[in-house]
Structure formats: structure tokens, C-alpha cells
């Protein structure tokens, strides 16, 4: 694959280690304390930039700016004007897509071909919600006394949305939260992860260029335990949309109780992939492997529990191992790279400890299992794509979210047993099924407890399709019409005529 532009040149122009202010009320500001933190390139360890380390007082300023905009100029925007604005933002994103992709690749390691390929999910999202901005409507309810009482509902913006996102897809996660807010007339205070704060600041620039009124979108950089926690508990924030780990989601839900703000949570997973005896093995192998290895396993929907019918388990797992060994591991900025680094040394240590536990609990190491060394890898956090066979359900690698490039493959004897074991997890984010039997696929689709189910494919996401989890993977949906309802209140109106 080749790039049509010079990604390395663009990378050098984008970040030079300098200070990047945050965006509050239309102003580019430092933290009131003057404190900063460094943003790194996980492939090289280089400091790309420094960003403000927001304290609770900075969050309060951002919320005040969001409130002023909500009750001021933004409330006067008609749905058509919000639609026009979203379409303008979409055009700017399209024009700047290469820069946004390079920025994401630099700050969180995802290979450039993947960040570039996310365009439809992001620009498409902006255009999808531009369309929805003029399609919001209440309904007339005709059950009251005819001719005497008129009853109808209005859909009103919920107010200030506090958005807290993880580091693994900053552009997509930002827009999946901001676009529906703009469509519904809400305002936003978004806090990116301290591990990948840079692209959301570029996004703020594009919002400003598009003419988004001051205070409608605010981007604050800071630690989760300080800035994120203040946003979650803030008495003037009306809604929190959070993507991140289940443990953080639980503490956010607790913090939100104070003013009973609405909460939606997109959390972690340990998603099952079931490969039936009749699956097309050669088509299923690369899809099942990339269900985990895409972005080095650092994706919430990673299909990390691979259940394979016993008759084909050995062949299937051997082929997944071959596939894993064929992947090119390197710096995300190189177009040939299939798999980039892990986000941090801490994350690499966590993954290594899972690999060690798999080995000590007796799983069969089929591929990978090692940290990579050599001049290309020494300054980053690179772990070889790893495949374990003969894993048992009770092993740690089969139960806990690893968030790294590790597949745990397990044989099963009957479909009943496979479904039961697939569902025997506290999580319920996603699932994959490989079979050529349509009836079997439908049976499994109904029985699997997961927010998304893919059959003979994996990973597909679309702005029009709701995405979210069941059980400990969270509640609420992003994408589709359902997301708009997360950002709207319903008011019932009664009129005596």
C-alpha cells in the first residue's frame, strides 16, 4: 500500500515539542495553575508537545462557557443552521483528514493506513447527524378528549454534555460525541485522555474555523482523576458520555449521582468469536485474527476469546498463528506497518504479565509472546501478536480484558456449550460468528448477549448503526437515531382548547 502524501514530512510539521493550549469559550488558554503534561509518540518515546494540566477550576470555566453558549447565541440557531454548520465541519474534516490521521497515528500509535481508513466513520458521522438535525420532532398524542385537549411532545436539548474519551481513537471518539450534540443543540466540554490529547486540540481548531460559536465546543486537557472527575460530578453538567474502562465508568456513574445527570457508558469487553465447524476457514482466519490484532488489540471490541469447533480447532489456530507471524510490526507512520506499538510502557507491562499468566496456567503458546527488540523497537512498546491455543475458561487470559495483541483460543464440542461459555462473561460488548449455515447464525444472534454481533465479518461500524454494550460493557448507544435520544429530553405539553 502506498500513501499519496508525505506522512513523515507532515508529522515533522505538526508537532515540534511546543506548548498546545486548550480551548475554552472560544479562547486558547493555559491551565490557571500553569501546569503542563507531556504528550508522547508511543513508537519512539519522543515528546510531541506539552498540553495544559487542567484543575477543577479550569473545568468550572469550561462548564460556565458551555452554559453561556447554551443559553445565549447557540439557543438561537435553527435546526437548519446547525445542519449547515455540521456540513461545514464535515467539509473541513475531509480537507484536513490527512493531518488528523497523522496526528492520531503519532500520538497513539495506530498505523496510518488504519487512521486514514477511519474517514467514513468520522466524516460520515458529521454528515449523518447534519441530516438528523432537521429531522428531530415530537409527536401529537390523540388520546385526550377530542376537540378539548391537545397533547403533544417536544424534544429539547439535554443541555451541557460532558464527554470523556479514551486514547485509542481520539478523532472518532471526539466526533461520535460532538456531532450528535451539535445536531440536538447541546453544548460540549470534552476531555481527551492524558495519553492522547493532541488530535482533539486540532479538532477544536477546525470547529473554530467552521464558525462554531464560542463555548459550544470546549476541549480541556488533564488527568482523569482530577479534570475528568470534576466534569463527572459537576452540578451544572446535564449529561456525561463516557468511553473507557469499566472501572472508570463505575466511578463516573457514582460521581454523576450528585445532580442525577444522565450517563451513557461505552466500556470494556472480552468479546467472543465463535467459529462453527462449517465455517469457511481460509476466509475466517484473517478476520478472526484482526478482530484482535487491529490496533495491537487496543480496541474495546477486540474478539479476544476465540471459540473454535473441536474438529477444526487445531488447523484453525495454527493458521491464526501463521497469520500473526506474517504481520509487519513497526511505527504507525510507515505505510507498510500492520501493527503499531502499545500506548505506554505501563500497558506493555500489563500485556506481558497476561502472557506470563497464560504460560504459567498451561495455555499453549502458538505465536508471539515476546516483547520486540532492535533499533526499530527499542524506544517504543512493541509486543508480538500472540496466539494461545488450548486455553481454558478459568484462565486469566480468557476472563479479563487484556487490551493488547493476545488471542485466547478454546475448543468447543457443541453449539449449546459455545453459546453458554461465550455468555459466561461479565461483559457484553460485541461478538463474532463464523458459519455458512444461515439458520445457525440466526439462532446464535438471538442467544448471544452483546450489543453488536457480526456474522462472517468483524469490526464494522457505521454512523447510522447504534453501537454500545450490555452488562458490564455499559449502557446507552452511540450512532444512529438512538444516540440523539441520549442527548434530548422529552417534554409533554397539554393544552385546553
Active-site annotation, residues: 266
Among residues 403, 412, 454, 458, which is the contact residue for ligand NAD, using CB under 6 A? 403
- Residue 164 makes contact with ligand NAD by CB under 6 A: yes
- Residue 486 makes contact with ligand NAD by CB under 6 A: no
Q: How far is CA 117 from the centre of its chain?
A: 15
The Cα 137–Cα 153 span in angstroms is 8
Number of residues interacting with ligand NAD: please give it, by CB under 6 A: 28
The Cα 251–Cα 78 span in angstroms is 37
Among residues 63, 110, 241, 267, which is the contact residue for ligand NAD, using CB under 6 A? 267
Which residue number, 136 or 173, has a Cβ lying nearer to ligand NAD?
173
Using the rule CB under 6 A, give the single segment among 130-138, 206-214, 222-230, 288-296 that binds ligand NAD: 222-230
Which residue number, 298 or 435, has a Cβ lying nearer to ligand NAD?
298
Using the rule CB under 6 A, give the single segment among 25-33, 158-166, 323-331, 431-439 that binds ligand NAD: 158-166
Nine cell digits for residue 271: 468479546
The SS3 of residue 179 is helix
- Residue 219 makes contact with ligand NAD by CB under 6 A: no
Among residues 52, 401, 418, 458, which is the contact residue for ligand NAD, using CB under 6 A? 401
The Cα 129–Cα 39 span in angstroms is 31
The SS3 of residue 485 is helix
Nine cell digits for residue 95: 480537507
Any idea which residue has 459550544 for its cell? 216
- Residue 243 makes contact with ligand NAD by CB under 6 A: yes
- Residue 251 makes contact with ligand NAD by CB under 6 A: yes
**Rounded least distance, CB 156 to ligand NAD, Å:** 27
Which residue number, 206 or 255, has a Cβ lying nearer to ligand NAD?
255
Judge whether 238 and 159 are in contact, CB under 8 Å: yes
Nine cell digits for residue 438: 444461515
The Cα 445–Cα 442 span in angstroms is 5
Which residue number, 58 or 98, has a Cβ lying nearer to ligand NAD?
58
- Residue 308 makes contact with ligand NAD by CB under 6 A: no
- 284 exposure class (CB count in 10 Å sphere: 0-12, 13-18, 19+): buried
Using the rule CB under 6 A, give the single segment among 112-120, 186-194, 325-333, 440-448 that binds ligand NAD: 186-194
- Residue 215 makes contact with ligand NAD by CB under 6 A: no
**Rounded least distance, CB 258 to ligand NAD, Å:** 13
Using the rule CB under 6 A, give the single segment among 105-113, 144-152, 163-171, 178-186 that binds ligand NAD: 163-171
**Rounded least distance, CB 484 to ligand NAD, Å:** 18
Among residues 41, 105, 107, 193, which is the contact residue for ligand NAD, using CB under 6 A? 193
Q: Which long-range contacts does 424-427 make (Cβ < 8 Å, 24+ apart)?
A: 424/393, 425/270, 425/272, 425/305, 425/399, 425/471, 426/471, 426/472, 427/246, 427/267, 427/268, 427/269, 427/270, 427/271, 427/401, 427/469, 427/471, 427/472, 427/473
> What letter does residue 471 receive in the DSSP assignment?
E
The Cα 94–Cα 272 span in angstroms is 35
- Residue 166 makes contact with ligand NAD by CB under 6 A: yes
Which residue number, 384 or 430, has a Cβ lying nearer to ligand NAD?
430
Using the rule CB under 6 A, give the single segment among 51-59, 66-74, 160-168, 452-460 that binds ligand NAD: 160-168
Which residue number, 37 or 96, has a Cβ lying nearer to ligand NAD?
37
For helices 119-133 and 97-108, give the axis angle rounded to 10 degrees: 120
* Helical H segments across 257-303, by residue range: 281-293
- Residue 266 makes contact with ligand NAD by CB under 6 A: yes
Per-residue burial over 443-468, b if 16 or more Cβ lie within 10 Å, else e, is: ebeeebbbbbbbbeebbebebeeebb
The Cα 281–Cα 162 span in angstroms is 44
**Rounded least distance, CB 155 to ligand NAD, Å:** 25
Q: What string of DSSP letters covers 26-77? A: TEEE--TT--EEEEE-TTT--EEEEEE---HHHHHHHHHHHHHHHHTGGGG-
- Residue 256 makes contact with ligand NAD by CB under 6 A: no
Among residues 42, 213, 215, 228, which is the contact residue for ligand NAD, using CB under 6 A? 228
Among residues 58, 98, 104, 194, which is the contact residue for ligand NAD, using CB under 6 A? 194
**Rounded least distance, CB 225 to ligand NAD, Å:** 5
- Residue 252 makes contact with ligand NAD by CB under 6 A: yes
Using the rule CB under 6 A, give the single segment among 72-80, 262-270, 319-327, 418-426 that binds ligand NAD: 262-270
Residues 11-70 that bind ligand NAD (CB under 6 A): none
Using the rule CB under 6 A, give the single segment among 30-38, 149-157, 260-268, 383-391 that binds ligand NAD: 260-268
| Contacts for 58 with CB less than 8 Å, ≥ 6 apart | 22, 24, 29, 31, 32, 52, 220, 222, 227
The SS3 of residue 364 is strand
- Residue 300 makes contact with ligand NAD by CB under 6 A: yes
Binding site for ligand NAD (CB under 6 A): 164-168, 191, 193-194, 224-225, 228-229, 232, 243-245, 248, 251-252, 266-269, 300, 401, 403, 429, 469
Amino acid at each position: 500500500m502506498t500513501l499519496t502524501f508525505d506522512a513523515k514530512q507532515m508529522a515533522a510539521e505538526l508537532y515540534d515539542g511546543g506548548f498546545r493550549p486548550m480551548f475554552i469559550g472560544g479562547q486558547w488558554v493555559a491551565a490557571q495553575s500553569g501546569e503542563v503534561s507531556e504528550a508522547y509518540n508511543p513508537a519512539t518515546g519522543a515528546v510531541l508537545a506539552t498540553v495544559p494540566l487542567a484543575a477543577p477550576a479550569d473545568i468550572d470555566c469550561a462548564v460556565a462557557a458551555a452554559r453561556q453558549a447554551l443559553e445565549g447565541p447557540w439557543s438561537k440557531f435553527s435546526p437548519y443552521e446547525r445542519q449547515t454548520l455540521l456540513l461545514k465541519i464535515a467539509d473541513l474534516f475531509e480537507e484536513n483528514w490527512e493531518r488528523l490521521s497523522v496526528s492520531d497515528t503519532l500520538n497513539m500509535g495506530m498505523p496510518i493506513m488504519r487512521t486514514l481508513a477511519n474517514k467514513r466513520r468520522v466524516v460520515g458521522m458529521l454528515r449523518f447527524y447534519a441530516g438528523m438535525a432537521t429531522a428531530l420532532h415530537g409527536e401529537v398524542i390523540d388520546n385526550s378528549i377530542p376537540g378539548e385537549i391537545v397533547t403533544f411532545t417536544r424534544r429539547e436539548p439535554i443541555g451541557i454534555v460532558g464527554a470523556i474519551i479514551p486514547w485509542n481513537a481520539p478523532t472518532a471518539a471526539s466526533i461520535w460525541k460532538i456531532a450528535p450534540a451539535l445536531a440536538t443543540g447541546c453544548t460540549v466540554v470534552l476531555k481527551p485522555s492524558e495519553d492522547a490529547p493532541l488530535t482533539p486540540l486540532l479538532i477544536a481548531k477546525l470547529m473554530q474555523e467552521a464558525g462554531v460559536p464560542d463555548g459550544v465546543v470546549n476541549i480541556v486537557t488533564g488527568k482523569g482523576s482530577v479534570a475528568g472527575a470534576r466534569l463527572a460530578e459537576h452540578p451544572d453538567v446535564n449529561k456525561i458520555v463516557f468511553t473507557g474502562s469499566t472501572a472508570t465508568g463505575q466511578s463516573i456513574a457514582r460521581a454523576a449521582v450528585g445532580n442525577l445527570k444522565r450517563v451513557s457508558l461505552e466500556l470494556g469487553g472480552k468479546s467472543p468469536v465463535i467459529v462453527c465447524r462449517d465455517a469457511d476457514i481460509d476466509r475466517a482466519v484473517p478476520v478472526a485474527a484482526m478482530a484482535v490484532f487491529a490496533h495491537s488489540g487496543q480496541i474495546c471490541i477486540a474478539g479476544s476469546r476465540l471459540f473454535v469447533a473441536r474438529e477444526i480447532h487445531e488447523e484453525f489456530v495454527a493458521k491464526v498463528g501463521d497469520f500473526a507471524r506474517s504481520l509487519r510490526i513497526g511505527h504507525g507512520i510507515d505505510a507498510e506497518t500492520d501493527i503499531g506499538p502499545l500506548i505506554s510502557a505501563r500497558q506493555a507491562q500489563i500485556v506481558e504479565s497476561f502472557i506470563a499468566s497464560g504460560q504459567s496456567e498451561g495455555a499453549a503458546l502458538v505465536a508471539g509472546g515476546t516483547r520486540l527488540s532492535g533499533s526499530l523497537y527499542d524506544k517504543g512498546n512493541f509486543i508480538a501478536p500472540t496466539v494461545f491455543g488450548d486455553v481454558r475458561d478459568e484462565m486469566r487470559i480468557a476472563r479479563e480484558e487484556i487490551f493488547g495483541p493476545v488471542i485466547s483460543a478454546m475448543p468447543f464440542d457443541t453449539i449449546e456449550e459455545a453459546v453458554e461459555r461465550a455468555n459466561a462473561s461479565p461483559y457484553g460488548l460485541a461478538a463474532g460468528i463464523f458459519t455458512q449455515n444461515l439458520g445457525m447464525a440466526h439462532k446464535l444472534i438471538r442467544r448471544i448477549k452483546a450489543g453488536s454481533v457480526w456474522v462472517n465479518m468483524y469490526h464494522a461500524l457505521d454512523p447510522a448503526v447504534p453501537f454500545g454494550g450490555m452488562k458490564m460493557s455499559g449502557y446507552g448507544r452511540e450512532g444512529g437515531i438512538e444516540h440523539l435520544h441520549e442527548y434530548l429530553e422529552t417534554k409533554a405539553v397539554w393544552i385546553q382548547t
